[in-house]
Amino acid sequence: MSQAPIKTTVPRRLRWRSLLLLGVLLAPLLWPLQVSIERYYGAQLNDQKRQILDLYVANLLGTLSRYEVLPPIFGQLPSLRQLLKGQTNIALQDQVNRQLASLRKQTGADVIYLMAPNGQTLAASNWNDEDSFVGRNFSYRPYFREALQGRHGRFFGLGTTSRKRGYFFADAVRDGDNILGVVVVKVDLDHTETLWGDRPERLLVTDNYGVVILTSHPDWRFRSTRPLDNAERAVIADTQPYRIQSPSPLHLNEKAWLKQSTHLEDIDWTVSILAPRRMLDGPVRTAVAVGGASLMMLILLLGLLMQRRRHYLERIALDTHARQVLEQRVLERTLDLEQLNSRLRQEVLEREQAQQELVRAQDELVQASKLTALGTMSASISHELNQPLAAIRSYADNAGVLLDHQRTDDARANLKLISQLTERMASIIAHLRAFARRDRHAPETVALQSALDDALALLAKRRRALDVELIRDLPEATLWVQAGETRLRQVLSNLLANALDALSEVPPPRRLWLSSVVTADGIELHIRDNATGFSAEALQRAREPFFTTKTSAQGLGLGLAICDSLMRAFGGELSFDNHPQGGALLILRMKAGDNSMSRVSDDLANET
């Protein structure tokens, strides 16, 4: 009886010593755990900061590229070219100043200014400010020198008058091979710096000299990240990109920051993001602490399992009882499952009935869609056949008058035209049906002037009634295009009818211009009138079916939509715009046809 406590306490004491020894052996595992966690969180942090860096780089490049194309465009303005050609007077200079100020507001640029070949600023958007560029000479700036050499001038620097950071885009204004002057657009980069906001990371943008030009930390601005040699210092003194000629060095503790950089090849800048080391150390320490706590919990759990081993026999009895209880529960669950299966069968029957109802509803929806499509097709056919029907009515009336005057040949000609129009109406209906099915026909070679003459002949009576002057600028040689014989005449008839509709709403004189341009891609037909032109809404929605500015009695809004679809069907393009001198301008772009095949067909027809 006295030995029982000894037998029970000695194994327990040995058991806890084993746990302590196990803890000492497992403790070194925390070091590889820390290395693995640091590598994992470091990769996550690098990926996150790389995404932020890529977003900022994309924003910076987008800001610069938006203004890069402006100098060549501004250099084509007539008023600027007149001022550079020596037509200097106060009124012209004032006009150019105001025009540049208006362009600055529209584009969002910081300053836009015009320089003579000697570097003297003739006009500027800030002409009315205290720090105006007008009269100042910036010939020492690299962007001016590059522009005079015929290249695209690019330069970053502080404004000598405004003291604001900016990126300068410059291009020469040419008159043939002569350079009249230089147009410069300055972009304000302060806004791109403020986009960074109040973040723990630091933004760093350095130029080709390694000098910080943009940063989220003001104290780092215009400090050098690397030593500068004498040649670089001389260039900085000559071009004056900064307020100081010898930037002070920027000393950063490499161990305190995690750095990622991207080099921008086009502008020779380097964009870097510096994340504080504590952003990585904090999560790593937390994870290691959690790992250590988990290890301690594992050791304690092992201790509890070892203590529970003494109750193994008791648990065997409990398991036997639990098994009996489990068998009873299995029987109860079996009954529950049988009831559940019965309910599931009922639900399956209800679901099948619901599926049948769904099928019937879908059939009704398909029928409704067919009716809708039929209504749309009816409206399209009504719109497209109005003009040929009007022409048939006119030719029939004329034929009656001609028969009354015993002019049978002319009456027979009118009847022949009516027959041709009926054939054309049948072709239009077939093509409208193909348009509704989005059918595509292979294009054929068509004579453009012939198709245009047919469309004009169809509308000749109405054009004469409106007293519209027709101005044609088409070559005598036949222009062959790839199109459909009937579809092209349909497009031309619709567009010319729309032009006459617009001219009917303006007082005389009424004019309609027809001209062609041969390009490398094919042939363009320009149709222009001197009416009121397109509104802003009409330019955006002109291709939408059922959009129209007319009343419901005048049109359904399908003409331009059908014309656009037909043009695209044979590989062409229809564009809408307003002419600078007023009125609407429609351009039909078509691929050039194979005129050799067309000539062979003509020869065969002549021989027949």
User: 599, 490 in Cβ contact below 8 A?
Assistant: no
Is 69-188 in CATH node 3.30.450.20? yes
Could you report the average pLDDT of every consecutive run of 10 residues in the chain (608 residues)?
A: 46 57 66 72 75 79 83 89 80 89 89 91 89 87 88 81 80 88 88 69 78 76 78 75 74 75 81 76 72 72 71 77 87 88 89 78 45 46 70 86 88 86 71 45 80 84 89 91 83 88 89 92 92 82 63 50 80 88 90 62 44
Q: Residue 37: CB partners within 8 Å, gap ≥ 6?
A: 283, 284, 287, 288, 291
User: 576, 586 in Cβ contact below 8 A?
Assistant: yes
Alpha carbon distance 508, 138 (integer Å): 54
pLDDT at 608: 42
pLDDT at 364: 57
Question: What's CA 597's distance to the chain center, in Å?
Answer: 42
Amino acid present at 90 = I
CATH architecture, domain 441-607: 2-Layer Sandwich (3.30)
Sign of CA dihedral 158, 160, 163, 166: negative
Beta strand 584-590 with 523-529 is antiparallel
User: 525, 456 in Cβ contact below 8 A?
Assistant: no
**Paired tokens of 146:** 């590059």
Alpha carbon distance 589, 519 (integer Å): 9
β-partners of residue 114 are: 123, 183
User: Position of tokens 């070892």?
Assistant: 306
Query: DSSP string of 552-573?
Result: TTT--S-HHHHHHHHHHHTT-E
pLDDT at 523: 93
**How many CA atoms, within 13 angstroms, populate the side-chain half-sphere of residue 598?**
17
Q: Which of 295, 300, 298, 297 is nearest to 31 (CA)?
A: 295
pLDDT at 512: 93
Domain borders along the chain are 10-38+281-311, 69-188, 441-607
**Paired tokens of 463:** 């054009």
**Cβ-count burial 327-357 (b if 16+ within 10 Å, e if not):** eeeeeeeeeeeeeeeeeeeeeeeeeeeeeee
β-partners of residue 483 are: 444
pTM to 2 decimals?
A: 0.43
Upstream peptide bond of 509 is cis (omega within 30 degrees of 0) = yes
**Paired tokens of 364:** 């009704």
In the chain, count of helices (H) and strands (E)?
17, 16
β-partners of residue 168 are: 155, 186
**390 exposure class (CB count in 10 Å sphere: 0-12, 13-18, 19+):** middle
What is the DSSP-derived secondary structure letter of residue 121?
A: E
Helices marked H in 405-483: 408-436, 448-458, 460-466
